[in-house]
Amino acid sequence: MQSLQVDLGERSYPIYIGRGLLGQAQLFERHIAGRQIAIVTNDTVAPLYLEALCHTLAKYSITPIILPDGEAFKNWETLQLIFDALLAARHDRRTTVIALGGGVIGDMAGFASACYQRGVDFIQVPTTLLSQVDSSVGGKTGINHPLGKNMVGAFYQPKAVVIDTDSLRTLPSRELSAGLAEVIKYGLICDAPFLGWLESNVDALRALDDAALRHAIERSCAAKARVVGSDERESGLRAILNLGHTFGHAIETHMGYGVWLHGEAVAAGTAMALEMSRRLGWIAEAERNRALRLFIRAGLPIVPPVEMTPEHFLGHMAVDKKVLDGQLRLVLLRSVGDAVVTADYPAAVLQETLVANYQALFEQLRSQ
Amino acid sequence: MQSLQVDLGERSYPIYIGRGLLGQAQLFERHIAGRQIAIVTNDTVAPLYLEALCHTLAKYSITPIILPDGEAFKNWETLQLIFDALLAARHDRRTTVIALGGGVIGDMAGFASACYQRGVDFIQVPTTLLSQVDSSVGGKTGINHPLGKNMVGAFYQPKAVVIDTDSLRTLPSRELSAGLAEVIKYGLICDAPFLGWLESNVDALRALDDAALRHAIERSCAAKARVVGSDERESGLRAILNLGHTFGHAIETHMGYGVWLHGEAVAAGTAMALEMSRRLGWIAEAERNRALRLFIRAGLPIVPPVEMTPEHFLGHMAVDKKVLDGQLRLVLLRSVGDAVVTADYPAAVLQETLVANYQALFEQLRSQ
């Protein structure tokens, strides 16, 4: 087992990474203060791992809370089911909520923990690659609003993150690819050598090689922990973690939550951010192509939905959380491994980026 | 104008108390970072003060958000109206939300501010005595759940609290009395000399004497600021602020939110806490009677609803936020001016307290 620390003063917590961690009771027990726990999961993950986790934690009074699976359910109505269950089973302030599932479960269980009786403990047990490398670390929690993704939420840190890499054995390959979008992101924004490692290991990752997976997860979590440790509430640096997300959120919102997986939308959105960085003269065409080829090899889309016009993008992006005093800030690459957040770009270059021919680019790169 | 400080490190903020503060633009401007503001109020307060406040803040882009009035609307559906309006008007993270109204408006606008884009600035402008002396200070925000009051919320501090005592001129006398319940509470839990002052000045307060009101508000806010400053997240001492609230919340939940005013339920609940403290031998009968007489003179009920059985009380109190590991902790008085939070009492004394004849006590005290 490997272990990392997210340094946030009195809100610091460990990330444990290894095989079979779902069965290690003492890992959990050191982070559980009371006698009650609630395990929040969904109807896809519950049949796979809920019984095993309940067995591990048999000494506690357990309330299982099983939600419908999918980003489309990341809303208030579903969140309310958590509060209903906690209150019906009379969970008090000393309870611990455990999020067992992917990013949607982690975001909702975390937000419910932030709000239930104004805050109770919670533990992240992410079971998808995407949630293991990204959403389970850093304390961003929340739900979607019909007018924007993650618009209602809280910064609320878990007591621990327990990553059992065995859970990736049951993950559909489309979801594994979606997770790789965020893994590649860390290489692009702050770790150029990691990008080289990924080029050599993307096939091993897709084949679920455990050593490769553990290395990718640890390096991704370490990058995220560094960034979050220096800017917990996203007043500056932390925003670079959103490379590709402003374009990507527009895709998710426009297509309807859950039609594109988050990682897929981030991949296509990152393709747009790379294209814009190239048009600004910050990265070379060869660098853009190298990154796009890696996304393609990871099984990810680099072409935004054909039905989305520039007006669609601009409309959705106007409510992005990075808008300040009316100015849309974008995460772009100064060079590979060096991201910046900036509103200082010509509007024309954004416009050109929105109408660029990504389909032609995809066909050209695929045939090389 | 008087001014106090709530000391919470980087989350410290001032409380301004005085006449005509709604018209003082510079008081607000020093706490507003961006260009956008949203004023959250209700359909009772809006006709009285919204135009004046908009005039004061005319240099900003203002979104007024007018909610239906009353505790019955302190729920998710109404909260959603705030998010809808903020998103429709494209408020970004640099926006400031201003709560203009009583405790319900402050709790909901504060909770919306805590959650909107994971947290934006807000300013409390309480217009009722109850919210001026209690709910606007200390950062408790939230909404009710059908199974319990304030069960969903956040600790989230405002940037400033602006108390314009002129707003009490339009307050119905029943609501003024409800506010006095919390004022009397401070005397009982931590300021015995203030209780003596209140006995001499309760008639002046009910007659809206401005000097008396300002003194009562300042002394109450100072007490609250001291307690909150030493225990922001209610891990210990802060719970004493809930004298009478555990019984009182049971009354509010049982009768339906808004049937009893919060202050009325707190008064009857405090009568029960006083009775229990007397039965434990901690305070004398004369001390209990002295406090109850003050409640009666303030126009407040000291008799819980006749239709509520001990089983009703115990059922509602089992989900109180002060329950820990199954034990119901109560706020009781060791002596007048000295409250404690304790689960260390015989169950029989609680039972006797729930069946005591408060109506007979009321008639006895009223006739003296």
pLDDT given at position B94:
94
B231/B50: higher pLDDT: B50
Q: Are residues B217 and B160 in the same domain?
A: no
From the list B185, B242, B279, B329, the catalytic residue is B242
CB contact under 8 A, A151 and B34: no
From the list A175, A185, A242, A278, the catalytic residue is A242
* Spacing of C-alpha A99 from chain mean position: 14
Q: Are residues A362 and A285 in the same domain?
A: yes
DSSP 3-state assignment of A221?
helix
- List the CATH number of the domain containing B130: 3.40.50.1970
Confidence of residue A318 (pLDDT cuts 50, 70, 90): confident
Q: Are residues B151 and B234 in the same domain?
A: no
Which residue is associated with the tokens 């002596």?
B335
pLDDT in tens, B175-221: 999 999 999 999 999 999 999 999 999 999 999 999 999 999 999 99
Q: Are residues A324 and A353 in the same domain?
A: yes
Distance between CA B331 and CA B189 in Å, rounded?
9
Token pair for B359: 């109506």
* Spacing of C-alpha A123 from chain mean position: 16
Domain end, chosen from A128, A144, A170, is at A170
CB contact under 8 A, A325 and B87: no
Q: Are residues A193 and A164 in the same domain?
A: no
Q: Which among B76, B153, B82 is positioned nearest to A77, based on CA atoms?
A: B76
CB contact under 8 A, B153 and A118: yes
The CA dihedral of B23, B27, B31, B33, to the nearest 10 degrees, is: 60
Residue B209 annotated as binding site: no
- Angle CA(B335)–CA(B338)–CA(B342) in degrees, nearest 5? 90
pLDDT in tens, B256-282: 877 999 999 999 999 999 999 999 999
Distance from CA of B194 to the nearest CA of A (A): 31
Asked if B89 is an interface residue toward chain A (Cβ–Cβ < 8 A), one would say no
Mean pLDDT of A245-260: 91
Mean pLDDT of A294-310: 97
- Angle CA(B330)–CA(B336)–CA(B339) in degrees, nearest 5? 30
Distance between CA A217 and CA A211 in Å, rounded?
10
Q: Are residues B132 and B198 in the same domain?
A: no
pLDDT given at position B325:
72
Distance between CA A264 and CA A255 in Å, rounded?
12
CB contact under 8 A, B119 and A148: no
Token pair for B24: 């003082």
pLDDT given at position A326:
75
Residue B175 lies in a domain: no
pLDDT given at position A224:
95
Mean pLDDT of A290-314: 97
Collect all residues with Cβ–Cβ distance below 8 Å to B87 and sequence separation of at least 6: A145, A147, A148, A151, A319
Distance from CA of A203 to the nearest CA of B (A): 37
Distance from CA of A79 to the nearest CA of B (A): 11
Q: Which among B5, B25, B22 is positioned nearest to B14, based on CA atoms?
A: B5
pLDDT given at position B319:
78
Distance between CA B288 and CA B234 in Å, rounded?
27
DSSP 3-state assignment of A357?
coil
pLDDT given at position B326:
75
Q: Which among A188, A296, A309, A302 is positioned nearest to A242, based on CA atoms?
A: A188
CA–CA distance from B337 to each of B188, B287, B340 (Å)? 5, 11, 10
Q: Strands of chain B (E only): list them.
A: 2-6, 13-18, 36-42, 61-67, 96-101, 121-126, 140-145, 148-155, 160-164, 330-335, 338-342
* Number of folded domains that form chain B: 2
The annotation places the binding site of A for Zn(2+) at: 182, 245, 262
Domain end, chosen from B136, B170, B204, is at B170
Q: Phi first, then psi: what are they for B179, rounded to 5°?
A: -65, -35
Distance between CA A283 and CA A276 in Å, rounded?
9
Token pair for B247: 């019984």
Q: A355: how many CB neighbours lie within 10 A of its CB? A: 10
- Are A295 and A184 contacting, i.e. CB atoms less than 8 angstroms apart? yes
Distance between CA B265 and CA B242 in Å, rounded?
12
Tell me the chain A residues in contact with residue B84 when contact means C-beta distances shorter than 8 Å.
Answer: 145, 147
- Are A162 and A124 contacting, i.e. CB atoms less than 8 angstroms apart? yes
Token pair for B7: 């000391």
pLDDT in tens, A129-139: 999 999 999 99
Of A90, A93, A153, the CB nearest to B118: A153
Confidence of residue A248 (pLDDT cuts 50, 70, 90): very high
pLDDT in tens, B63-120: 999 999 998 899 999 999 999 999 999 999 999 999 999 999 999 999 999 999 999 9
Strand partners for B341: B331
Which amino acid is it at A255? Answer: M
pLDDT given at position A191:
95
Mean pLDDT of A245-268: 93
Q: Are residues A66 and A210 in the same domain?
A: no
pLDDT given at position A213:
97
Q: Is the pLDDT of residue B148 over 90?
A: no
Residue B74 annotated as binding site: yes
Q: Phi first, then psi: what are they for A81, rounded to 5°?
A: -60, -35
Is B316 noted as a catalytic residue in this protein? no
CB contact under 8 A, B115 and A87: no
Q: Which residue of B has its CA nearest to A85?
A: B147
Asked which of A95-104, A196-205, B138-147, B231-240 is least confident by mean pLDDT, the reply is: B231-240
Distance between CA B286 and CA B282 in Å, rounded?
12
Q: Are residues A206 and A57 in the same domain?
A: no
From the list B219, B224, B278, B279, the catalytic residue is B224
Collect all residues with Cβ–Cβ distance below 8 Å to B60 and sequence separation of at least 6: B32, B35, B36, B37
Distance between CA B3 and CA B133 in Å, rounded?
14
Distance between CA A364 and CA A136 in Å, rounded?
36
pLDDT in tens, A209-221: 999 999 999 999 9
pLDDT given at position A234:
85
Q: A211: how many CB neighbours lie within 10 A of its CB? A: 10
pLDDT given at position B323:
77
Q: Phi first, then psi: what are they for A31, rounded to 5°?
A: -115, 10
Q: Which residue of A has its CA nearest to B36?
A: A325
Confidence of residue A324 (pLDDT cuts 50, 70, 90): confident
Is A316 noted as a catalytic residue in this protein? no
Residue B35 lies in a domain: yes
Q: Which among B290, B274, B291 is positioned nearest to B334, based on CA atoms?
A: B274
- Are B308 and B254 contacting, i.e. CB atoms less than 8 angstroms apart? yes
- List the CATH number of the domain containing B201: 1.20.1090.10
Q: Are residues A198 and A148 in the same domain?
A: no
Distance from CA of A69 to the nearest CA of B (A): 23
pLDDT given at position A193:
96
The annotation places the binding site of A at: 69-74, 103-107, 127-128, 140, 149, 182, 245, 262
Confidence of residue A236 (pLDDT cuts 50, 70, 90): confident
Which 217-236 residues of chain A touch chain B by CB within 8 A? 233
Asked if A87 is an interface residue toward chain B (Cβ–Cβ < 8 A), one would say yes
Collect all residues with Cβ–Cβ distance below 8 Å to B266 and sequence separation of at least 6: B181, B182, B185, B244, B245, B248
Q: Are residues A309 and A334 in the same domain?
A: yes
Residue B176 lies in a domain: no
Q: Are residues A154 and A35 in the same domain?
A: yes
Identify the residue among A59, A92, A143, A324 best suited for mutation to test binding to B, counting B beta carbons within 10 A and taking the highest. Answer: A92
Which amino acid is it at B164? Answer: D
Tell me the chain B residues in contact with residue A341 when contact means C-beta distances shorter than 8 Å.
Answer: none
pLDDT given at position B102:
96
Q: Are residues A271 and A351 in the same domain?
A: yes
Distance between CA A6 and CA A221 in Å, rounded?
9
Give percent of chain B with pLDDT exceeding 70.
100
H/E segment holding residue A15: strand A13-18
Residue B213 lies in a domain: yes
From the list B140, B159, B278, B316, the catalytic residue is B140
Q: How many residues does chain A have?
A: 368
Asked if A84 is an interface residue toward chain B (Cβ–Cβ < 8 A), one would say yes
What average pLDDT does the structure give for chain B? 95
pLDDT given at position B260:
95
Confidence of residue B327 (pLDDT cuts 50, 70, 90): confident
What is the DSSP secondary structure assignment for residue A68, as one 8-state letter? P
Token pair for B95: 């926006």
Residue B178 lies in a domain: no
Distance between CA B299 and CA B293 in Å, rounded?
10
Pairs across A and B, CB distance < 8 A: 104
Distance between CA B191 and CA B176 in Å, rounded?
21
pLDDT given at position A344:
92
Distance between CA A173 and CA A164 in Å, rounded?
17
What average pLDDT does the structure give for chain A? 95
Sheet holding B36-42, edge to edge: B2-6, B13-18, B160-164, B121-126, B96-101, B36-42, B61-67
Q: Is the pLDDT of residue A325 over 80?
A: no
Mean pLDDT of A59-73: 96
Give percent of chain B with pLDDT exceeding 90.
91
B40/B237: higher pLDDT: B40
Q: Is the pLDDT of residue A143 over 90?
A: yes
Confidence of residue A122 (pLDDT cuts 50, 70, 90): very high
Domain end, chosen from A144, A170, A196, is at A170
0.95 surpassed by complex ipTM: no
Domain that holds residue B267: 185-367
Mean pLDDT of A229-236: 87
Which amino acid is it at A218? Answer: E
What is the DSSP secondary structure assignment for residue A159, as one 8-state letter? S
pLDDT given at position A223:
95
Distance from CA of A60 to the nearest CA of B (A): 12
Asked if A237 is an interface residue toward chain B (Cβ–Cβ < 8 A), one would say no
Strand partners for B126: B101
Maximum Cα interatomic distance, chain B, rounded to a whole number of Å: 62
Token pair for B176: 């003024």
Of A83, A90, A326, the CB nearest to B152: A83
